[in-house]
Structure 1
Amino acid sequence: MKCFLIDDDEDDRDIFALALLKANAESNCITATNGEDALDLLRKQSDFIPDYIFLDLNMPLMDGRACLSELRKQARLDTVPIIIFTTSSYSKDIEDTLNLGASHYLVKPTSLNELVSILTSFFEGKLSGYRLSL
C-alpha cells in the first residue's frame, strides 16, 4: 500500500510515517512538503498512483485547497481517496474541501497511538472523520 502525504511540517511527516507502519506494516509512505512539490513529483513520475493521498490544508507556496483542486484534475487519480489531514476542525474548511473533491476529512490527533488507531480503522473500512456521500 502506497500513501502519499503532503504536509509541510517535518515532525508531522515523521509521526505519520511511523503511525502508518504501525497501522499497516506493508505500507510505504511517500511525502511532499507542499502542494507544488507534490504536483512536481506526480508530473515527473507519471506511473505513480498512490492508494491514498493525505493532504494538509495550511502549507506555504500552495495550500491544501489549491493542491486538492489540481489533484482532482488528474484523471489517473480519479479513484484515489484524498483525505484532508489537518489541525483545523472548522466546519467551513470541512464543507469547502468536501465540495472540492476530498473523500474524507480527518483532524490530526494529539498522540501517536490515536493516529495509529485512526489509520487502522480507516484502512479496515471503519471510516473516521467526515465522509462525502456519493
Structure 2
Amino acid sequence: MKANLKCLLIDDDKDDQEIFRLALQDINENIVCITADNAMEGLQMLQADANLIPGYIFLDLNMPRMSGKDCLAALRSMPHLADVPVVVYSTSSDPRDIRETKALGATDYVVKQYSMASLKEILRRYFS
C-alpha cells in the first residue's frame, strides 16, 4: 500500500465522517482522510489547491446547498481529477440513484454501513 494515501470524504454528517475516519485508521494508519462538510466546500478545496489530488473521493448524495449528484457532475468536469475514482457513499439504496450516479461518472456506489466491521471490509477493497 502507498504511504500517506489521501482520501477525500465529502459528507455533511459529522458522525459518518468520524466513523469513516476510524475505519480507515484501523485499516492503515498511513491513510490521510480529508473531510469536507458539504459539496461546495469539497469543490472549493479541490479548486483552491491543484496539488490536492486524492487517491479516492467518497461522496454523500443527500447534502444541503448542493446535492452529491451535482457535485459529482462538477468533479467529472475538472480535468485534473479525471482519473480519480469517485465512490458514492450514501444511505440510499435506490436503484435509480445507483444508475444515475454511474451515468454521471461514479466509479462505484456504496451504501453506508451500520457496523464498523462491514465498513472496514468495504474500505479494504479500495485501500489494500
The one-letter code of the counterpart of 2:8 is: F
Q: Does 1:107 align with 2:125?
A: no
Contact in 2 for aligned 1:23/1:117 (Cα 8 Å): no
CA offsets per residue over residues 59-105 of structure 1, 9 Å max, x none?
00111000000000001111100000000000000000000000000
Structure 1 unaligned segments of length 5 or more: list them.
125-134
Deviation at 1:123, TM superposition (A): 2.5
Contact in 2 for aligned 1:20/1:119 (Cα 8 Å): yes
Q: Does 1:116 align with 2:128?
A: no
2:56 pairs, out of 52, 74, 87, with 52
Structure 2 unaligned segments of length 5 or more: list them.
none
The one-letter code of the counterpart of 2:7 is: C
Deviation at 1:7, TM superposition (A): 0.1
Deviation at 1:122, TM superposition (A): 3.0
SS of 2:65 mapped into structure 1: coil
Runs of 4+ in 1 over 2 A off after TM superposition: 121-124
How many Å separate the matches in 1 of 2:126 and 2:83? Answer: 16
Kindly, what percent of the aligned residue pairs are identical? 48
Contact in 2 for aligned 1:55/1:84 (Cα 8 Å): yes
Superposed, 1:1-134 pairs within 5 Å as: 1-124=5-128
CA offsets per residue over residues 6-28 of structure 1, 9 Å max, x none?
00000000000010111222100
TM-score by length of 2: 0.94
Give the aligned length: 124
TM-score by length of 1: 0.90
CA offsets per residue over residues 6-51 of structure 1, 9 Å max, x none?
0000000000001011122210000001110011111211211000
How many Å separate the matches in 2 of 1:74 and 1:94? Answer: 22
